[in-house]
Structure formats: C-alpha cells, structure tokens
Structure 1
C-alpha cells in the first residue's frame, strides 16, 4: 500500500503484447521519457504475455509475469490478442492477460475518458471539440464477463453464461463515479456535475438491483445529479446528445460496448486510453485491439497508448503525492493536443497520413518544450 509519499523511482511492469502492441507501447514509453525531467524516475521492466507468448510456450500469461505485475507500482501494456490464436473453447488466448489481471488484482474500476480534442473531426459533425467530454466508469470484475471460463455447453446444444452483480461491487464503482464527478467541470451542455447509471433495469432483476444500490449511494452526494439510461437508449443518446454526459457508470459488458461507441465519436479507438484501477494496482493501455493486419507497417495510431501513459503518471502522482509525475502527465496531455491540431500529424484512422514514428517524435518534441 502506498504511504502517500513520492518515490525516487517507480517500478513499471511493461508488457508489449501482440500485433501493433509493441509499436504503440514503444511510442508510449518514449513519450513518458520525454515528459519526465529524469526518465530514470520510471524503472521499466519487461515481461511476456499474450497470444504470441501462448504460441511460443503454450501459456498466455506466465505466473512470473503475474507476480511482477502484482508487485509493480503500475502496469503498462501495448495490446493483446490475435483472433486466430484461441483455446479449445474458441476464446482468444491473448485476452487472458487483461482479464486475469482484472480478476486476480481486483481492478474493479475501468476508466475510459471520451473527449473530443481540437484537430479531430467527430463522426458527429455538428459537435465541436470540447462539446464531447465525459468518462465511462465500467465495473470491471462482475457482470457477464465474470463468467469467463465458467460457462456451460451442454451436449453441444445449450450454452449458458451467468452474470454476477453484488452489492459491494456496485457500491464501490458507483461511489467512485460520484467522487470522480466531484472533481470534474460537469457536462459540456449545462455544466452540471452528473452521474448517469446505465443499465437494463426494466427487464432484468440484476440490473434493477444495480440501479437500486446506485440510488442508495447517490443519497450521499446531493451535490451531484443522478440520472438513468437504459443501455439500448444510451446507444442513441451517445450519438444524439453526447454533450449531456459527465460520468457514466455501468456494468462490465455494457461498459465495454458503449465505450467503443463513445470512442468512435471522438476519432476512434486509437484516441481512447483506458485505466483499470484497484485498491492497490493500476493497469494502463489503449482501449483498442492488436490490429495484426497493420502490425509492422508503422501506421498504427500511438496516441491512445501515449495518453494512457499520461493517465498512469496522473494515477501514480495522486497516489504518491508526486508533483513531478503530475506535471509530466499534464505535459503529455498538452503535447498530444498541440500535435493533433496540425493536419499533417494525423494518423490514417483520423484521416491523415502521418506515420507512428512521426507522431511520436512530434509528441516527444512538444513534451520537451518549456511549460
């Protein structure tokens, strides 16, 4: 447990992963080094995991890698998974790295900021930069994904997975959503600090229970507005009125789905960093997959991973009251914002032609500029 004091150096477990993972991970590491006054502030140690590891060794997530991730100050990742590399049950072997980390380290809060930056044209053409700025807080250890590896297939005719919703799990994720809303500036549309509970309470008892517990927690936060949206309606709202939202809290699978939709409105998965946080550990990566079809071509968008690095520094900085890390996190955010204002620095998925290396170099150059 952190004692709230800065460290001379923070140990970062680095897993580069599969497909474009090594490329975007390297970009993120370069940005971290450029933003810090002394790159030695981060002690980087690399470990194997993912689909490639499974192909080579028959194990997707070695126990030694897990132990290193558990004991590190933070975990930094590229991307995992190759669609054709699967277990006998048809599920992707490479995904075990992230999924096991969530459950074994109790990384219960999946935080995905959805923000439209200057220089990016939204697929929702009438929304300008600054008008889409919300956070999806996804419960990360329960819901339908808790059934991973435990579902049933009976005689090749019937398959079932079970969703799990607990009071304790719901209380802590909703509480974190309200605490987060208190630190933000409110929804772009009206400036109100707002938590929206996204569920399917009109059909399933488990989601009605999630809503009930969330309502009880909300009573302790009279300064933050409580809002509700059914998940099917939410897919419409995030297209029609994304400026209404501030913090959205939801179940695991629903959060996975709507955060991808949200990312599509602010430039795509390449602009979507994510943090997975527990009481002791933090895991940071971009929300996108490994995109093996473009691996090695130098055209992957590194910005999501670079921004995930900033989230890592911010989390560590707050946890250890280390202003050096907090300043470096802000430096990366500013640098990314500055770089993507130049159309020549946009990657292919944002309509540009800049290479991963050129974008990374530009971000690093901006990080080195005086604040």
Structure 2
C-alpha cells in the first residue's frame, strides 16, 4: 500500500482545531498508515516568536512532500512595518515559491445548508472558480511604491505563459466535470474587465486562443462587475469561471456567501508538481481554542487533496476515500442534528468531527 507524506501547518487561531479534525477524519477514512502528517511551524504566531513566518525547513518539507495541508494563518495586530498582514504571507510565499498558479475554489451548495438565495436548495449550486494565483494585481505584493506619503502605486502583471496555463487548467477541468447545472453544458466563463483595461483584454484574448483547442467546451464571457450580479441571479448557469488574481479573490468570497459562508468553502492551490489545501476562511481568533470552529471547509479541502493525489499517483483508493468523506459531511448536515455554529447550529468542532467519522461507510 502506498504511503503519502503530508506537510501539515496548523497555523494560527482555529487552524490547529480544524487541522486536527481533518487529520482524524482522514485517518478514519484511510487508516493510520496511508497518510503520514509531518507537523511543521509557520504562521503569524510563529513569526512573533521567531521572526519567521515560513521557516526554511518548513518550506523544504512542503517542497519535498506529496501535498500540503494548512489550517489557517493570521492574527490581528501582527503585521509587517508596511502594515500588511504577516499571516497571509505564509501561503503567499508558498504560492510563489512553489509556483501554485491555479487556485481552485469550488462553490457548491451542500445538502442541509441553507443558502441566502431563496430559490436555491442543497445541490442547486455547483460551479468552480479558477483564480490565476501568481500574477495579476497581487504580483505587486511587497513591490508597490509609496512616494513622499502622497502617491501609491501597484502594478498589475499578466504574462502569456501565466494566462495560457490557467486557461488550459480551466478547460481541462470543465472536461472532467458534468457541465453546468442549468443545461448540462461544459462551459468556461472568462471573467475580466476587457472593456476597460488592456491587460484584461489581453487576458481574454489569450484565454480565447487556448479555448480554440477545446471545441467540446463552450466559452462564455462576463465582466467582473456583472459577474457579482450573475452569481446571485443565475448561479446554476456556471460551470468553470477563470479570472485574474484579485477578481478571483473577490468573486470567490461572494460565491462562498451564496452557499453558506467561508466556513464551508474549500480551496486548492495547484501547480504542476505541488498542491496546497486549506479552507478559504481566516483564523477566527475570537473563537480559537473553544472547540467552536467549523471544520467543514478544511475537510472538503482535504477531499480535494485526496482527489488530486489520486490523479497524480494513479491511486483510486484516495479518490474513494474523498467520496466517502464528502458524502459523510453531506449526510451529517442534511440530518440537521449536528450542525456547526456558523451554519446556525450548536455543534462543537469535536462533535461534528465525531459525527462525520460515524457517518462514513
């Protein structure tokens, strides 16, 4: 039986709780021998103690192991001299140093979760946002200029290589899915501001060049401002949405709100050789250490990790385990007896973890 080494950074706030919950469920699904979790330092608290948000030995382990599982990072008041948050820098450094260029954010309404959209019940929203993860406006992080305390500039960066590979990832993903819920058509929606800025017109043009090679996948377009309306009015039309880094950050949070919030929103940051998996939520320091955190987002991120590892290593047992975990999460939420606090229930993290383990078949 194959064995996989998982670089595990619990991080800050609720990070240790949701990470430990996920490890418990993964061991229940696969036994104790398939996955080995190497616990590593990193995050805002570690920075405050050591001056390092991502120690070099942690980075080396993340680079050399099969996958990275992360809890959460960031703490209020722990910032760099320029005012930017330390915690976010943990996964940003991993993102850029490991070239994790595709940030995959599934937007899926689980059974038993109430959407704020009145016409949508469990299973009626299911699309994926693919956010270009290493370029765009966020490529300027740490490189912006503030002149004489009067003028500040950051530069939006797009390259042909960066756009081509995230577009190709998105079209390939659309081929693997079952199409949009509304009509069953595999579809890639290019989200941009091509009507205003040349950089986004270039993004669209290069995506179109890639799309020509996928005649079986429909290509659609939406301006970023209009997309925020479409995600509310017709979420079932979408299958895969590909967009620039900052726009992806914004619309993926909006999408999460339509399916229950950040606490149920998983993410996978993927490159050609590495993958980082974490819930899309923050570290929620106000509830840290109280057993109140919801582990749902991290559990679902672990499912993405198992599916990715299954594909990379041609190991179907991992995909089967991912399916069992996701089904168990749905079962527990649909029964409505053990519901996390962020979804209106009273269940503690430990209780939800136990319920998921018991629901697995």
- Shared fold (TM-score, shorter chain, > 0.5): yes
1:179-218 alpha-carbon deviations (Å, 9 max, x no partner): 1101111111111111000001111110000000011111
Contact 1:79/1:290 (CA < 8 Å) preserved in 2?
yes
- Taking the aligned partners of 1:115 and 1:256, their CA distance within structure 2 comes to 17
Contact 1:131/1:189 (CA < 8 Å) preserved in 2?
no
1:26-80 alpha-carbon deviations (Å, 9 max, x no partner): 11111110111x3211111111100000111111111111111000100000000
Contact 1:282/1:312 (CA < 8 Å) preserved in 2?
yes
Q: Where does residue 190 of structure 1 map in the other structure?
A: 183
- Taking the aligned partners of 2:120 and 2:36, their CA distance within structure 1 comes to 41
Contact 1:177/1:248 (CA < 8 Å) preserved in 2?
yes
Q: Where does residue 20 of structure 1 map in the other structure?
A: 14
Contact 1:344/1:353 (CA < 8 Å) preserved in 2?
no
CA drift of 1:83 comes to 2.5
Q: Where does residue 265 of structure 1 map in the other structure?
A: 258
Q: Where does residue 73 of structure 2 map in the other structure?
A: 80
Contact 1:130/1:188 (CA < 8 Å) preserved in 2?
no
Equivalent pairs, count = 361
If the length of structure 2 is used for normalisation, what is the TM-score?
0.99
1:99 maps onto 2:113 in alignment: no
> Which of 285, 305, 323 matches 1:312?
305
CA drift of 1:247 comes to 0.3
Q: Where does residue 11 of structure 1 map in the other structure?
A: 5
Q: Secondary structure at the match of 1:254?
A: helix
1:229 maps onto 2:222 in alignment: yes
Q: Secondary structure at the match of 1:340?
A: helix
- Taking the aligned partners of 1:84 and 1:251, their CA distance within structure 2 comes to 29
1:213 maps onto 2:183 in alignment: no
- Taking the aligned partners of 2:176 and 2:38, their CA distance within structure 1 comes to 33
1:366 maps onto 2:359 in alignment: yes
- Structure 1 unaligned blocks of 5 or more: 1-6
Q: Where does residue 126 of structure 2 map in the other structure?
A: 133
Question: Alignment RMSD, CA only?
Answer: 0.9
Q: Secondary structure at the match of 1:345?
A: coil
- Taking the aligned partners of 1:42 and 1:352, their CA distance within structure 2 comes to 31
Q: Secondary structure at the match of 1:229?
A: strand
- Structure 2 unaligned blocks of 5 or more: none
1:34 maps onto 2:28 in alignment: yes
Q: Where does residue 4 of structure 1 map in the other structure?
A: none
1:109-157 alpha-carbon deviations (Å, 9 max, x no partner): 1001000111011010111222210000010000011111111111111
| Structure 1 runs (4+) greater than 4 angstroms displaced | none
1:134-283 mapped onto 2 (5 Å cutoff): 134-283=127-276
- Taking the aligned partners of 2:64 and 2:269, their CA distance within structure 1 comes to 16
